[in-house]
Amino acid sequence: MKALLHLLFLAVLTGLASGTEPVIRDPRTNDLKIAVIGSSTVWGSGLLDEKSMAGVLDDCLRDRWSKTIYPEDMQFSQKPVTVRNRKFFRGDAAKITGKGAWAEFDFSGDQLVITQAIARTRAYGEITVFADGKVLGKFDNRNNTLGQEEKTFSGNGKATIFPLGRAFTYGHRVTVNGQSVKVKLYDLNYVSGPVYKKFPGYDAVIVRGHDGKKVVHHLYFFTPPRGKIHVSYSYGETIAYTACTVGGSAEDENKLESTYGVGNVPHDLANPTQFSSGLDFRSSNARAVKVFRFPHAAKRRIRLEITGGNDPYLMLDFVTDRNHQLMNAGIGGFTALRFLTDKNHRTVEDVLKVFVPDAAYIILGGNDDWSEMERLTSHDQTGLTEKQVRELRSMFYSKIEEQPDGTFTATRKTGIIKKITATSLTSEHLTGTAAKPGHYLRIGNYYGDNLSTAVRRIKTVDSQKGIITWQEPLDPAAMVGIDQITDLQGAEFTIRTLAGYKNNIRGMIDRLRKANPDMRIILLNTYTPNYFMRGVWAYAEALEDVASEYKGVLQADASPAVHKWIPTQFAGARRIVKILSTGAAEYELPYKRHWQGFQVFVNGKDVYGKDARVESGWFYPPQFVRGKWLTGRTGNLVQQNMKLVFTRNIPPAGTEIKVVFARNVWSSDYAHPSPEGCRIIGEVGFDALNQVMGVRK
């Protein structure tokens, strides 16, 4: 018997060492916890609403993994009042009042999950739940978070900020040396610059920030006070679908304060940083949920009836059969390294304190890229004038030096292709390269359209002959601007490693899996960026490589879905530019910024990507600071007009040219998703979640 147990023990150890496949729990029959971990692209509006990828995912959890019933599908004994609050699911809930008021609906499932909202009031209702006329159970909506408090501080004429010790305060009355101070709850969105200018006539604001242990309200003076400071206030929380530290104002509990706050307060209370920091995570609120289980699944008629209470009411958000919980753990500006090292309670371990997920997304790269600027090939451009230097896209350069003759030499972080096939290229700029198999290669000249380039994982390197190869053949049909592979001769290429980023992602996975070895993890790339502004390329490939090292970790990429969506946006286009050809090869267009999605019609035929391209994209020019030219992300943005360029078959003079812009884009800045972008990314993310959880559509 002991020998058998020993063999079983060894089998378990062997399975763990070899990466045993994590256990799958079917989300249609089990309640799951899901975390979305990332930066500003996940943050959205700082809640769980549809202004973020997490909000789109939330819709999928309620409508595709659950049987969810909303107030508009229920019958009521009285016309319900619609109460709007961004912390409610989809922003509103239905309120009924008075003893005897009820809501009814047909329901099928093995458990009834009721999500309610509890107002910031001492009124409450006692609600009885009936199933087919029989009492199933009861619940109430008492709010036990309410109270009043006072604080006294001593101002030294230097400190501007004073912690109140708790969030959800309102109705503040402040005096300094007995004189009243005019104060307001901070309610702005993302801002930069002096905050006091945004609050004329006020002496202070109440703003959220860390006190070293948790997020609390702080009294923030615009001018450092001296003397006795007295603060009195009420406190209390509207308990809603979204759990977070964002509260309501004194005048209207449903009008929320800012989801942003003062960052890194514990380090220096006298000199807090910007008011536009993301402070903590947001998640489904267990306190708003009541669960009633049935012995078996069946269709039942449910009634929720107010049967008692004090000035009773019921606010219904929705009911469903699955109690899935979602966390939006997005913090603006964050990187994978920051999730491993943050000092203000926003690490991977702090995610796990909210709840330990069954599945987690890691959606990072846009900010990590600033630590991944190295490229493994370069070439020099010589004889440049100062005017030419000031027009360079500085993200593509590593060095600019003035020469004795007054011209400039700029080192561009690319090489030039001498010879190319579908799976290899030769270049003198690869001689002696540090590139290795497994590094990442970008091929093609970039003018604003990401499809003019292709990314490949390097298979072999011959640094003496200057040759590299890759596995997946290039497809000319998939690249804008070429008809055949040889068209890429003379074009650019560049190489990177993303080694630091990959190590940090591994660290996040390992620490998440320490809490739950069965956790399913999705590494999701959301970027289809403007390379003049952000060098976020090869991240999908890097995440794919990391995912291959683990069981139950999946890589997903939203870029192909973005490119597939773009052609659907030409119907009903609002921006159409008509040009009468002068026989020239270039024409300035009346729009700035960056765009991906063009058609260029000549004689009724779309020649975009064949005979013509549109050059677009904001960029940073090099900056001359203290006797040195700086490259990378420096100085002010240049916002040039877009340019239509014909590379061949230039239309004869008098020919009408029509340039059509896609109606919508996935992101207004090609970093943070628009509503359309959130929907695209959310759908890709949900498909990946189904895949990693083994759910068949």
Residue 50: per-residue pLDDT: 79
Tokens coding 476: 């000319």
CB atoms under 10 Å from CB of 256, counted, come to: 21
- Mean pLDDT within 17-36: 75
* For residues 273-289, average pLDDT: 91
Q: Is the pLDDT of residue 5 over 90?
A: no
Residue 3 pLDDT exceeds 90: no
Query: How do beta strands 134-140 and 124-131 pair?
Result: antiparallel
Grade residue 264 by pLDDT with cuts at 50, 70 and 90.
low
DSSP assignment of 53-122 equals: HHHHHHHHHHHTSS--B-GGGSEESSPPEEEE-TTSGGGEEEEEESTT-EEEEEEEEEEEEEEEEB-SSS
Torsions phi, psi of 332, nearest 5? -55, 135
For the CA atoms of 582, 587, 590, 593, the dihedral, rounded to the nearest 10 degrees, stands at: 170
Residue whose tokens read 């403007």: 530
In the prediction, which pLDDT does 368 show? Answer: 96
Q: What share of the chain is helix, strand, coil (3-state, %, to 5)?
A: 20, 35, 45
Q: Which of 2-16, 65-79, 191-205 has the highest mean pLDDT?
A: 65-79
What 3-state class would DSSP assign to 4? Answer: helix
**Residue ranges of domains in the chain:** 147-235+245-280, 572-661
Parallel/antiparallel/unpaired status of strands 33-38 and 359-363: parallel
* CA-only gyration radius of the chain, Å: 29
Higher pLDDT, 264 or 558: 558
- Mean pLDDT, rounded, of the chain: 93
Please give the average per-residue pLDDT across 610-636, as a whole number: 93
Model confidence band, residue 265 (pLDDT cutoffs 50, 70, 90): very low
Residue 14: the pLDDT is: 32
Query: Where does the pLDDT of residue 527 fall: very low under 50, low under 70, confident under 90, or very high at 90 and above?
Result: very high
75: Cα separation from own chain's centroid: 38
Beta-sheet strands, E only, within 278-432:
282-284, 289-310, 313-320, 325-330, 359-363, 379-384, 397-402, 408-412, 415-416, 419-421, 424-426
User: Residue 637 pLDDT more than 50?
Assistant: yes
Q: Are strands 204-210 and 454-462 parallel, antiparallel or unpaired?
A: unpaired
Q: What does each C-alpha distance from 540 to 182, 318, 545, 546, 691 come to in angstroms? A: 51, 37, 9, 10, 17
Position 169 pLDDT exceeds 60: yes
Of 171 and 27, the structure prediction assigns the larger pLDDT to 171
Mean predicted confidence (pLDDT) in 538-562? 98
Residue 12 confidence (pLDDT): 36
185 C-beta neighbours (distance < 10 Å), count: 22
Parallel/antiparallel/unpaired status of strands 612-615 and 623-625: unpaired
Residue 15: band (very low, low, confident or very high) from pLDDT cuts 50, 70, 90: very low
Structure tokens at 265: 């307060």
State the SS3 of 328-361.
EEECCCCCHHHHHHCCCCCCHHHHHHHCCCCEEE
Provide the residue type at 323 as one letter.
Answer: N
- Tokens for 158? 């230097």
Residues ≥6 apart with Cβ < 8 Å to 443? 417, 420, 425, 453, 454, 455, 456, 474, 488, 491, 492, 493
The pLDDT of 398-422, averaged and rounded, is 97
Residue 192 — pLDDT band, cuts 50, 70, 90? confident
Confidence of residue 23 (pLDDT cuts 50, 70, 90): low
